[in-house]
């Protein structure tokens, strides 16, 4: 087994510190390369008319995107460093400086895609049919599709410049406030200790009633304390989004998300309505879970508490060994990618003060490595999270090998396919050696995940839709109004066996996904698609090659076309219903057992 003793990112592979002079020298190279491209192509029009010349321009543009982007290694390093300590003002200042210069570069180079998107319909057809441009076909299709929502070059520059002050700064402010919070709570050893925000979230899933109630009390107090701040934050970024949508001519709030995700609104609506129509499944699940836990109903913060009296603790070493075995068993390349993440210290494992909460997998330009951030608390959920985020990393690495940098992205509509695919196979491995009681615990845990990823996220998507509609009707939404809408939609899928406790109305305060606007549907679509891929592999292990082809596809084709190529039709209601039915069958089987 590879070395798991290095449980922090080794950011010195980039620079020695924020004061490293090499940061400025490298960023100067980024600027020079961008300026070189701008100087060569900005005053030319021939690439907008001739496929051969466009091929030359796109090849150079692709190389620029692959090796430098607009902030390159300096921007990536500073971003990573800021996640580890959100209170590091020196890093924040340096990152802001790089970001401002990167925005200027982005504004200068934006002419290329903007002018290309607005070529005549005749030239669009010529370019799309040109064999010379086949590697960039879907990139061009998306440019042409989005052209009607793009503004003039000066206007696009303004939109880029204001994005940070009108959106990102607000979101970062609330996240930073929360990350700095510490509270005295009851720890699992029976002693009162000071815990940071990420640790408090973990303790809410403790199997000890007093511990999780203590953590929930602290968590509710933190969210309540910042509800008014978050109220102002949301209203500000909602107003900014409304202004942007009206300026660009979008017809409805979620339209820009669907276009960015390269998925038809009709497909998303079909999935969302199919899941919403089956909310009785999670309601039945919570009824069964409450009964198993000996409760009339679950408290709001108890929804995710693992069932079972003796919850097993998993050291990070144990989790890594388990995941390595599973990934190698599916395909040697999967295991090799995971081993490299471990050996190269690209997984930051444990929660510390000021570190951003939650977990994620992050990558930047194609030539820079992937990193994973965790807040590992030795629970089964943390093992699954490691598998989940490594699934994203495998997705990234497969795309790197197969795609050019203009196709090196995974649409959010399908981004959760890889993560949930690998996570579920890890759970299956755990079931193999489990006792009867442990199997019940793990099976319930899996059902809990499915309910959260499919039904909860669709309820959250419905919440977002109503929230944006209400804002555009009312002009401003108070924290109580937001909380009432939030509880309404959470209750819609939870049913009467989960209580809407005082404090639960403010859980939207820390839920970061709402700041990314309509992102949450992708968890449901990703898991339901993943279930279809899992079924294919279980029926025929050779089907793993089809899965790899899907994960390597990147944005070289639309999600609809990518999955159609392996026989999956995501536009049909019956496809989504099949995955939902699987969840219901497993719930019924568990009830019978």
Q: Give the predicted TM-score (pTM) of the model.
A: 0.85
Residue whose tokens read 């090799």: 336
Q: Which residues pair with 362 in a beta bridge?
A: 371
Least confident of 4-8, 93-97, 140-144: 4-8
Closest CA to 593 of 437, 428, 369, 374: 437
For residues 226-265, b (16+ Cβ closer than 10 Å) or e, as one string? bbebbbebbbebbebbbebbeebebeebbbbbbbbbbbbe
Structure-model confidence comparison of residues 371 and 207, the more confident one: 371
Average pLDDT over residues 38-61: 97
Average pLDDT over residues 7-25: 96
For 370, the token pair is: 């992937």
**305 pLDDT above the threshold of 60:** yes
**540 pLDDT above the threshold of 80:** yes
Structure-model confidence comparison of residues 422 and 379, the more confident one: 422
Pairing between β-strand 192-196 and β-strand 360-362 as defined by DSSP bridges: unpaired
Q: Which CATH number fits domain 11-150: 3.40.640.10, 3.40.800.20, 3.40.50.300, 1.20.140.70?
A: 1.20.140.70
**1 pLDDT above the threshold of 80:** no
The CA distance from 157 to 108, in Å, is: 8
Question: Which range among 65-79, 164-178, 399-413, 437-451 has the greatest average pLDDT?
Answer: 65-79
Report pLDDT digits (tens) over 83-103.
999 889 999 999 999 999 999
DSSP per position, 78-140: HHHHHHH-TT-HHHHHHHHHHHHHHHHHHHHHTHHHHHHHTS-HHHHHHHHH-GGGGGGHHHH
Least confident of 35-49, 77-91, 526-540, 578-592: 578-592
- Phi and psi angles of residue 119, each rounded to the nearest 5 degrees, phi first: -65, 165
Report pLDDT digits (tens) over 398-436.
999 999 999 999 888 788 899 999 999 999 998 888 888
**454 pLDDT above the threshold of 60:** yes
- Provide the 3-class DSSP secondary structure of residue 348: strand
Average pLDDT over residues 384-405: 96
The CA distance from 433 to 382, in Å, is: 19
**550 pLDDT above the threshold of 80:** yes
Direct distance between the N- and C-terminal alpha carbons of the chain, in angstroms, rounded to an integer: 37
Average pLDDT over residues 295-315: 86
**593 pLDDT above the threshold of 60:** no
Q: In which element (H, E) is residue 176 found?
A: helix 169-180
* CATH number listed for the domain at residues 181-225: 1.10.287
Average pLDDT over residues 112-127: 96
Report pLDDT digits (tens) over 170-229.
999 999 899 889 999 999 999 999 999 989 998 998 989 999 999 999 999 999 999 999
Contact between residue 275 and residue 580 where contact means Cβ atoms under 8 Å apart: yes
Q: How confident is the model at residue 309 (pLDDT cuts 50, 70, 90)?
A: low
Contact between residue 544 and residue 331 where contact means Cβ atoms under 8 Å apart: yes
The CA distance from 322 to 393, in Å, is: 17
Q: In which element (H, E) is residue 325 found?
A: helix 316-330
Structure-model confidence comparison of residues 207 and 525, the more confident one: 525
Domain residue ranges of the chain, discontinuous segments joined by + = 11-150, 181-225
Contact between residue 206 and residue 305 where contact means Cβ atoms under 8 Å apart: yes
pLDDT the model gives residue 592: 47
Structure-model confidence comparison of residues 61 and 163, the more confident one: 61
- Phi and psi angles of residue 422, each rounded to the nearest 5 degrees, phi first: -70, -35
Contacts of 20 (CB under 8 A, 6+ apart): none
Contact between residue 549 and residue 536 where contact means Cβ atoms under 8 Å apart: no
Contact between residue 323 and residue 390 where contact means Cβ atoms under 8 Å apart: yes
The CA distance from 135 to 557, in Å, is: 11
């Amino acid at each position: 087994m590879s070395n798991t003793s290095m449980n922090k990112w080794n950011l010195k592979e980039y620079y020695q510190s924020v004061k490293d002079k090499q940061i400025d020298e490298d960023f100067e190279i980024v600027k020079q390369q961008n300026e070189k491209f701008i100087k060569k192509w900005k005053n030319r029009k021939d690439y907008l008319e001739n496929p051969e010349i466009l091929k030359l321009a796109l090849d150079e543009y692709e190389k620029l995107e692959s090796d430098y982007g607009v902030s390159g290694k300096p921007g990536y390093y500073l971003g990573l460093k800021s996640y580890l300590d959100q209170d590091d003002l020196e890093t924040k200042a340096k990152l802001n400086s790089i970001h401002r210069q990167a925005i200027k570069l982005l504004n200068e180079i934006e002419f290329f895609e903007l002018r290309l998107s607005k070529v005549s319909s005749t030239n669009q057809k010529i370019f799309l049919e040109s064999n010379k441009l086949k590697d960039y076909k879907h990139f061009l299709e998306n440019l042409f599709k989005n052209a009607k929502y793009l503004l003039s070059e000066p206007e696009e520059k303004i939109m880029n410049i204001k994005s940070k002050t009108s959106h990102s700064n607000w979101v970062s402010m609330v996240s930073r406030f929360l990350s700095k919070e510490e509270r005295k709570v009851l720890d699992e050893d029976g002693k009162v200790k000071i815990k940071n925000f990420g640790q408090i979230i973990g303790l809410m899933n403790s199997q000890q009633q007093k511990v999780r109630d203590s953590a929930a009390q602290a968590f509710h107090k933190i969210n309540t304390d910042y509800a008014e701040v978050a109220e102002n934050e949301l209203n500000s970024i909602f107003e900014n989004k409304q202004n942007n949508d009206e300026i660009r001519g979008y017809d409805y709030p979620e339209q820009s998300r669907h276009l960015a995700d390269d998925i038809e609104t009709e497909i998303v609506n079909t999935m969302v309505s199919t899941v919403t129509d089956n909310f009785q499944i999670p309601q039945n699940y919570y009824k069964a879970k409450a009964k198993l836990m000996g409760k009339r109903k679950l408290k709001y913060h108890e929804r995710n508490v693992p069932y079972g009296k003796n919850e097993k603790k998993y050291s990070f070493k144990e989790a890594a060994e388990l995941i390595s075995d599973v990934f190698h068993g599916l395909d040697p390349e999967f295991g090799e990618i995971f081993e490299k993440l471990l050996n190269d210290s690209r997984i930051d494992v444990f929660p510390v003060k000021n570190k951003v909460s939650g977990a994620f997998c992050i990558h930047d330009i194609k030539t820079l490595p992937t990193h994973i951030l965790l807040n590992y608390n030795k629970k089964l959920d943390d093992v699954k999270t490691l598998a989940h985020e490594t699934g994203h990393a495998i997705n990234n690495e497969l795309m790197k090998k197969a795609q050019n940098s203009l196709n090196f992205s995974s649409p959010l509509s399908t981004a959760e396919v890889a993560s949930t695919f690998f996570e579920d196979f890890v759970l299956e491995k755990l079931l193999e050696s489990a006792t009867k009681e442990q199997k019940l615990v793990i099976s319930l845990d899996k059902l809990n995940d499915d309910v959260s990823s499919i039904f909860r996220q669709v309820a959250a998507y419905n919440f977002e839709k109503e929230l944006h509609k209400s804002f555009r009707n009312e002009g401003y939404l108070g924290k109580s109004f937001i909380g009432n809408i939030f509880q309404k939609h959470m209750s819609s899928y939870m049913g009467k066996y989960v209580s809407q406790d005082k404090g639960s109305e403010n859980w939207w305060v820390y839920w970061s996904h709402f700041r990314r606007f309509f992102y949450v549907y992708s968890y449901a679509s990703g898991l339901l698609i993943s279930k279809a891929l899992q079924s294919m592999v279980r029926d025929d292990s050779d089907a793993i090659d089809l899965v790899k082809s899907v994960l390597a596809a990147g944005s070289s084709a639309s999600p609809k076309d990518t999955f159609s190529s392996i026989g999956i039709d995501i536009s049909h209601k019956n496809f989504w219903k099949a995955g939902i039915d699987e969840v219901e069958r497993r719930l019924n089987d568990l009830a019978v057992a």
